[in-house]
Amino acid sequence: MSEKSIETKLLLIDGYKFDVNFDVDCLPNLVADEPRPIGEGAGPNASRLLAAAVGQCMSSSLIYCLKKARIPIINLETTVKTNLFENEKGLTRIRSIDVQIDLEINEEDKTRLQRCLTIFEDYCTVTQSIRNGIQVNVKVN
């Protein structure tokens, strides 16, 4: 089992707004921010970025399986609902994430779809990592 890492840098612009820079030159920077009234809402906050990561990863895993099975996709739309709650300290936490993938394929391909539906979640790096918990090491210099 090999290990590798990716690096993402965040540079504070002002308030709660960050310039997010990825370690791949071809990727554009992204602005992340907290919603009003805390931030300016100039970009997605961490919960929305996590939802996007889960949705994109799940969708890509399904697409990969469908391509391997040679099942053409007519349309695919993914909706991710992040369910929040306040814990006993009154702090907002994510209780659960609901992912709905609306997939349109040809009628004649539907009999071959079940195998992909059975295995595609296993290949989503993000979802499988957060389901099992991720060790987060924090260091402030």
Superfamily of domain 46-135 in CATH is K homology (KH) domain (3.30.300.20)
pLDDT-derived band at 118, boundaries 50, 70, 90: very high
pLDDT single digits (tens) 58-112: 999 999 999 999 999 999 999 999 999 999 999 999 999 999 999 999 999 999 9
Question: pLDDT at position 2, please?
Answer: 85
pLDDT single digits (tens) 4-33: 999 999 999 999 999 999 999 999 999 999
Every domain of the chain and the residues it spans: 1-44, 46-135
3-state secondary structure 48-111: HHHHHHHHHHHHHHHHHHHHHCCCCEEEEEEEEEEEEEECCCCCEEEEEEEEEEEEEECHHHHH
Q: Are 134 and 54 in contact (CB under 8 A)?
A: no
Q: Is the pLDDT of residue 52 over 70?
A: yes
Q: Is the pLDDT of residue 136 over 90?
A: no
At residue 58's C-alpha, the angle toward residues 103 and 63, to 5°, is 55
The candidate with the shortest Cα–Cα distance to 32, out of 56, 50, 7, 57, is: 50
The amino acid at 121: E
Question: pLDDT at position 137, please?
Answer: 83
The amino acid at 41: G
Question: pLDDT at position 55, please?
Answer: 96
For residue 19, the SS3 value is: strand
pLDDT-derived band at 141, boundaries 50, 70, 90: low
CA–chain centroid gap for 126, Å, is 7
The candidate with the shortest Cα–Cα distance to 46, out of 108, 114, 136, is: 136
Question: pLDDT at position 13, please?
Answer: 98
Tokens coding 34: 């907290």
